[in-house]
């Protein structure tokens, strides 16, 4: 492995995370990033580490992977913070899923029942008990589910830390370098064509987020089924009287947008997110921001007074079954690590550890085997 040249396409959390682990093992790694590393979905995210709150009964494999990755976070945060010599804002306060009217309570009960069927560590709470935990919650909150083990990380700090840790171990980061084509000869990948030149490589890892199917050179049959799913977000500045410690998510049976509020250690309160099938359109809309503000204000009325700091959009790399696409492909030495959709920040540790292990040992672990591309192949 020491002599092999590894090339990663995409410098988001996934590319940087894998790159860091490989460079740390002594491998020769270069990341090609078309813009600035860590500024796409990985920058836009809310940083929730929420396998329980986002659990769907019909996605048991994804839930298991999310829980495994969450369990790695304390070790991951410690290792990354030590290598990067900076904090990544990992917080363990937990998540409250709240309802605001009787219809929402019914929906919450349904969610709670399915979480219990899955054996998840969740707790039912009355509206009053929820307000004791978070006094800023509206008196309208009827009931809540407490997910104590769903945590959060500051994803913007995490991408900065990953960039530092990766380069500290000799990883090469080429920014403003667009990979135009993946070059394949006789079913073996040989390198990439950037806008400047051909770059030979022994292993190529495709970690280009929602752009992963846009790069030329891949045969149609193995194009990763990944598409962009737009999310609009905003940040408020918490002030005296309105401080929130837990992540708060709403369940709204009658509204199109449920929201989440994620408190950061620096006082920012992240509010998200819309979920829109709009292709690569990244425009903010009045309606999107209105829905977020309305949803957040209904749950926490005091936000009305808070300064609005920032608005932005991001594109989630959504796969056809919402789960990531991880591991080997029918093309020799071409590895996929893409399609992390709504959970890419949560899934970064397990992706980085497992994909780097695959490249170093040549063996796909049982952990990631269910997420291989072949589940989509005829």
In angstroms, what is the minimal distance from the CB of 48 to ligand GLY? 6
> What is the Cα–Cα distance from 298 to 250, expressed in whole angstroms?
9
> What is the Cα–Cα distance from 326 to 348, expressed in whole angstroms?
12
Task: Note the Cα 227 to chain centre separation in Å.
Answer: 15
Residue 33 touches which of ligand FAD, ligand GLY, none (Cβ within 5-8 Å per kind): ligand FAD
Q: Which of 9, 27, 46, 141 binds ligand GLY (CB under 6 A)?
A: 46
CB 88 within 8 A of CB 155: no
Tokens of 299: 């749950």
CB 112 within 8 A of CB 122: yes
In angstroms, what is the minimal distance from the CB of 118 to ligand GLY? 18
- Indicate the helix (H) or strand (E) that contains 66: helix 60-84
> What is the Cα–Cα distance from 96 to 151, expressed in whole angstroms?
11
In angstroms, what is the minimal distance from the CB of 231 to ligand GLY? 5
Residue 209 touches which of ligand GLY, ligand FAD, none (Cβ within 5-8 Å per kind): ligand FAD
In angstroms, what is the minimal distance from the CB of 333 to ligand FAD? 18
In angstroms, what is the minimal distance from the CB of 139 to ligand FAD? 28
> What is the Cα–Cα distance from 366 to 325, expressed in whole angstroms?
14
Contact string (CB under 6 A) for ligand GLY, positions 142-181, x = contact: ----------------------------------------
Tell me whether residue 131 or residue 275 sits nearer to ligand FAD (CB atom).
Answer: 275
CB 182 within 8 A of CB 189: yes
Tell me whether residue 342 or residue 357 sits nearer to ligand GLY (CB atom).
Answer: 342
Subset of residues 285 to 324 that bind ligand GLY, contact rule: CB under 6 A: 316
For residue 303, the 8-state DSSP code is G
Neighbours of 186 (CB within 10 A): 7
Q: Which of 151, 156, 249, 342 binds ligand GLY (CB under 6 A)?
A: 342
Q: Residue 308 forms beta bridges with which residues?
A: 236
Task: Name, in order, each residue with C-beta under 8 angstroms of 120's C-beta and a sequence gap of 6 or more.
Answer: 52, 55, 147
Residue 88 touches which of ligand GLY, ligand FAD, none (Cβ within 5-8 Å per kind): none
Residue 179 touches which of ligand FAD, ligand GLY, none (Cβ within 5-8 Å per kind): ligand FAD
Residue 10 touches which of ligand GLY, ligand FAD, none (Cβ within 5-8 Å per kind): ligand FAD
Output the CA–CA distances (angstroms, integers) from residue 21 to 15, 163, 170, 329, in the order listed. 10, 12, 11, 21
Q: By Cβ distance, which residue is nearest to ligand GLY?
A: 342
Residue ranges in contact with ligand FAD by CB under 6 A = 9-15, 32-35, 40-42, 44-48, 178-179, 207-209, 211, 215, 231, 233, 272-273, 314-317, 338, 340-346
Q: Which of 122, 273, 303, 325 binds ligand GLY (CB under 6 A)?
A: 273
Q: Which of 231, 318, 327, 339 binds ligand GLY (CB under 6 A)?
A: 231
Interface with ligand GLY: number of residues (CB under 6 A): 7
Nearest in space to 182 (alpha carbons), one of 152, 207, 149, 153: 207
Tell me whether residue 24 or residue 340 sits nearer to ligand GLY (CB atom).
Answer: 340
Q: Is the dihedral of CA 5, 10, 14, 17 positive or negative?
A: positive
> What is the Cα–Cα distance from 215 to 162, expressed in whole angstroms?
24
Which residues of this protein are in contact with ligand GLY, per CB under 6 A?
46, 48, 231, 272-273, 316, 342
């Amino acid at each position: 492995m020491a002599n092999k040249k590894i090339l990663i396409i995409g410098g988001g959390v996934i590319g940087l995370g894998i790159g860091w682990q490989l460079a740390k093992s002594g491998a020769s790694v270069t990341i090609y990033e078309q813009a600035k590393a860590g500024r796409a979905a990985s920058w836009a995210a809310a940083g929730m580490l929420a396998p329980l709150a986002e659990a769907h009964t019909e996605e048991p494999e994804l839930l298991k992977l999310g829980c495994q990755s969450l369990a790695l976070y304390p070790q991951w945060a410690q290792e990354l913070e030590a290598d990067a010599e900076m904090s990544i804002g990992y917080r363990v306060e937990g998540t409250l899923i709240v309802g605001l009217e009787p219809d929402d309570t019914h929906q919450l009960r349904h969610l709670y029942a399915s979480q219990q069927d899955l054996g998840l560590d969740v707790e039912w709470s009355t509206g009053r008990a929820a307000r004791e935990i978070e006094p800023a919650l509206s008196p309208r909150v009827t009931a809540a589910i407490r997910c104590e083990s769903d945590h959060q990380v500051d994803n913007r700090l995490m991408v900065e830390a990953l960039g530092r840790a990766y380069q500290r171990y000799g990883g090469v980061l080429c920014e403003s370098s667009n990979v135009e084509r993946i070059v394949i000869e006789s079913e073996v990948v040989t390198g990439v064509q950037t806008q400047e030149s051909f770059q030979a490589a022994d292993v190529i890892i495709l970690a280009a987020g929602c752009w992963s199917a846009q790069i030329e050179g891949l045969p149609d049959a193995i194009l990763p089924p990944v598409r962009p799913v737009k999310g609009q977000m905003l940040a408020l500045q918490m002030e005296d009287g309105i401080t929130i410690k837990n992540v708060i998510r709403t369940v709204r049976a009658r509204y199109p947008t449920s929201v989440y509020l994620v408190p950061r250690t620096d006082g920012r309160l992240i509010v998200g997110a819309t979920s829109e099938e709009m292709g690569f359109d990244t425009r903010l809309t009045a309606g999107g921001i209105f829905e977020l503000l309305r949803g957040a204000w209904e749950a926490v009325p005091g936000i009305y007074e808070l300064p609005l700091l920032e608005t932005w959009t991001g594109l989630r790399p959504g796969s056809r079954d919402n789960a990531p696409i991880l591991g080997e492909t029918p093309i020799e030495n071409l590895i996929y690590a893409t399609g992390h959709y709504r959970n890419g920040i949560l899934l970064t540790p397990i992706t980085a550890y497992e994909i780097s292990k695959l490249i170093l040992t040549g063996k796909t672990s049982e952990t990631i085997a269910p997420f291989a591309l072949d589940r989509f192949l005829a």
